[in-house]
């Protein structure tokens, strides 16, 4: 499993700094930079990068840029589906447990920067309301300019901002300290934890406090994941006890709760009923639905799949026949995915490396990261038809090409 190494943001203000004087100094820097002064002393690098991004988007620092919240039903849907709903209480408990909580608010967003939860000082909440810092509002750089939430999303790193380091002048009376929360299993961004308050109440301990909250959230997410897998194993004990031969027990997202007779990674492709699944070490399998999770094992008979690329209304379509209990299905292919499949078909069982595909698609070896991402997207479309290490049409799959290919 992938666990993100924590990164601490650079403090916006050094210990012992006169906050009022520093805020006035930053306002002069902000005014000079926004006025295009070539002799202006710029802000910190992270702020300079953000201001440049925001100016390129055409936002006006003197205006309160639109940040209308999503409708209530959409906010509830985002809350309900956010993995951070599982740990928001832990985040709150850390950040609202200190005496200084009377001077700030705690905000948790999703990966789109939409504020899902907000709580804290009633007085600061009222100030946030006037600023449009509301539940359901998107606080990305593209919406509201440089702010800790949006800049943490853009930089993919923790950020602390003070006073006129914010792009909009309306945000200059504020400080904010934000840090991303990642899925401890995959490294995927889940959202942002932010503490904000009046600029002149900034406390140097807030960076450590936010860092502690994000570490706790990620640790709790990992603990809950492991608990769910243990529960899945317990629920399937009676099934597993009667099995022989190699098999896997996985959850609805492909995470492996139990394995026997086969060495696998922590996760396989997401199972789907009646749809063949390629598993390293097991070959093509047809997942079997249990009360909870999925049993994945080789079929007693050899499972074979016939697929073809055809054209419908000028577009490439991948058609897959049913076999061994699997249902047939079809899906449209983008031009890039069609090209990849044709290249893998031409390569035969020896397959192609990322470097091979980079040379075929781009004429050099410099696009291997792009190729890996494209193949990953193709596998989400084509499923078991594409195998890896090396990339190839999977064993047991017969791929036909239409005559126009």
| Greatest pairwise CA separation for the chain in angstroms | 78
Q: How far apart are CA 143 and CA 115, in angstroms?
A: 13
Whether residue 352 is predicted with pLDDT greater than 90 in this model: the reply is: yes
Residue 365 has pLDDT above 50, yes or no: yes
Give the residue with greater pLDDT, 381 vs 44.
Answer: 44
Is residue 348 domain-shared with residue 396, that is, in the same domain? yes
Question: Quick one: pLDDT band at residue 303, thresholds 50, 70, 90?
Answer: low
Given pLDDT bands bounded at 50, 70 and 90, which one contains residue 298?
Answer: confident
* 317 pLDDT more than 90: no
Give the model's confidence band at 307: pLDDT under 50 very low, under 70 low, under 90 confident, else very high.
confident
Residue 326 above 70 pLDDT?
A: no
Query: What pLDDT sits at residue 5?
Result: 46
Identify whether 212 is part of a domain: yes
Please indicate, yes or no, if residue 8 is contained in any of the structural domains.
Answer: no
Average pLDDT, the chain: 88
Please state, in angstroms and rounded to a whole number, the distance separating the CA atoms of residues 213 and 386: 40
Of 262, 296, 330, the residue that ends a domain is 296
Q: What pLDDT is stored for residue 403 in this prediction?
A: 56
**184 lies in the same domain as 325:** no
Whether 272 and 340 map to the same domain: the answer is: no
205 and 285 together in one domain: no
β-pair type (397-401, 305-312): parallel
Verify that 48 and 194 share a domain, yes or no: yes
Which one, of 198, 271, 268, 258, lies nearest residue 229 by Cα?
258
CATH number of the domain bearing residue 381: 1.10.10
The answer on 268 and 349 residing in a single domain is no
Would 371 be classed as within a structural domain? yes
* Residue 368 lies in domain: 305-401
- Confidence band of 331 (pLDDT split at 50, 70, 90): confident
Enter the DSSP assignment of 83. G
Among 208, 226, 244, the domain boundary falls at 226
Q: Above 50 in pLDDT, residue 405?
A: no
Q: Are residues 222 and 242 in the same domain?
A: no
Structure confidence at residue 177 (pLDDT): 97
CA atoms within 13 A on the CB side of 72: 0
Instruction: Supply the pLDDT for residue 21.
Output: 96
In a domain, 5, yes or no: no
Please give the share of the chain, as a percent, with pLDDT higher than 70: 92
pLDDT at 237: 93
Q: Is residue 193 part of a domain?
A: yes
300 pLDDT more than 60:
no
* Residue 117 binned pLDDT confidence (cut-offs 50, 70, 90): very high
CATH of the domain at 215: 3.30.450.40
For residue 268, pLDDT over 90 is answered with no
Residue 336 lies in a domain: yes
Phi, psi for residue 366 in degrees, rounded to 5? -85, 0
Q: What's the average model confidence in pLDDT over 380-395?
A: 81
pLDDT at 8 over 70: no
Residue 387 has pLDDT above 90, yes or no: no
Q: Is the peptide bond before 142 cis (omega within 30 degrees of 0)?
A: no
pLDDT grade for 65, boundaries at 50, 70 and 90: confident
Give CA–CA dist 96/108, Å, rounded.
13
Same domain, 167 and 253: no
Cα–Cα distance between 129 and 113 in angstroms, integer?
17
pLDDT category of residue 355 using cuts at 50, 70 and 90:
very high
Higher pLDDT, 114 or 244: 114
Tell me what percent of the residues of the chain surpass a pLDDT of 90: 57
- With respect to residue 7, please indicate whether it lies within any of the assigned structural domains: no
- Number of folded domains in the chain? 3
Does position 6 have pLDDT exceeding 70, yes or no?
Answer: no
**DSSP secondary structure code for residue 333 in this structure:** -
Distances 61 to 12, 30, 146 between C-alpha atoms, Å: 20, 9, 10
Do residues 209 and 195 lie in contact, with contact meaning Cβ atoms separated by under 8 Å?
yes
Name the band, by pLDDT with cuts 50, 70 and 90, for residue 301: low
CB atoms within 10 A of CB 209: 19
Pair 316, 343 in one domain: yes
At 281, is the pLDDT very low, low, confident or very high (cuts 50, 70, 90)? confident
> Which among 226, 256, 277 is the end of a domain?
226
Say which residue, 227 or 4, is predicted with more confidence: 227
Contacts of 250 (CB under 8 A, 6+ apart): 256, 257, 267, 268, 271, 287, 293, 294, 296
Residue 78 reports pLDDT greater than 50: yes
Kindly state whether residues 222 and 353 are assigned to the same domain: no
Query: Is 240 found in the same domain as 201?
Result: no
Per-residue model confidence (pLDDT) at position 395:
78
- Is residue 12 assigned to a domain? no
Model confidence over 160-216: pLDDT tens digits?
Answer: 999 999 999 999 999 999 999 999 998 999 999 999 999 999 988 899 999 999 999
Segment 267-282 shows an average pLDDT of: 79
- 152 and 240 housed in the same domain: no
């Amino acid at each position: 499993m992938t666990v993100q190494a924590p990164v601490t943001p650079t403090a916006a203000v050094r210990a012992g700094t006169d906050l009022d004087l520093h805020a006035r100094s930053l306002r002069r820097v902000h005014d000079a930079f926004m006025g295009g002064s070539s002799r202006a002393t710029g802000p910190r690098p992270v702020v300079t990068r953000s201001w440049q991004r925001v100016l390129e988007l055409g936002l006006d620092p003197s205006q309160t840029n639109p940040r209308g919240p999503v409708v209530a039903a959409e906010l509830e849907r985002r809350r309900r589906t956010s993995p951070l709903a599982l740990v928001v209480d832990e985040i709150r408990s850390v950040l609202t447990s200190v005496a200084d909580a009377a001077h700030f608010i705690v905000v948790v967003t999703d990966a789109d920067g939409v504020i899902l939860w907000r709580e804290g000082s009633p007085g600061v909440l009222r100030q946030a309301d006037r600023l449009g810092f509301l539940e359901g509002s998107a606080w990305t750089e593209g919406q509201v300019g440089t702010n800790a939430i949006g800049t943490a999303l853009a930089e993919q790193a923790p950020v602390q901002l003070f006073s006129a380091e914010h792009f909009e002048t309306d945000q200059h009376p504020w400080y904010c300290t934000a840090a991303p929360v990642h899925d401890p299993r995959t490294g995927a961004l889940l959202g942002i934890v932010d503490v904000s308050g009046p600029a002149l109440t900034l406390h140097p301990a807030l960076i450590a406090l936010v860092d502690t909250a994000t570490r706790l959230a990620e640790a709790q997410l990992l603990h809950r994941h492991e608990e769910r897998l243990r529960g899945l194993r317990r629920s399937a004990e009676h099934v597993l006890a009667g099995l022989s031969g190699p098999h896997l027990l996985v959850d609805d997202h492909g995470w492996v709760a139990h394995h026997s007779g086969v060495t696998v990674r922590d996760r396989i492709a997401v199972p789907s009923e009646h749809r063949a699944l390629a598993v390293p070490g097991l070959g093509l399998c047809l997942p079997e639905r249990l009360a909870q999770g999925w049993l994945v094992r080789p079929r007693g008979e050899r499972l074979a799949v016939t697929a073809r690329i055809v054209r419908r209304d000028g577009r490439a379509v991948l058609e897959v026949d049913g076999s061994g209990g699997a249902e047939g299905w079809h899906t449209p292919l983008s031009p890039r995915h069609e090209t990849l499949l044709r290249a893998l078909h031409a390569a035969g069982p020896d397959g192609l490396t990322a470097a091979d595909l980079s040379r075929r698609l781009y004429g050099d070896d410099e696009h291997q990261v792009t190729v890996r991402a494209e193949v990953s997207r193709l596998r989400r479309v084509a499923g078991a038809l594409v195998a890896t290490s090396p990339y190839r049409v999977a064993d047991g799959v017969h791929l036909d090409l239409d005559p126009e290919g």
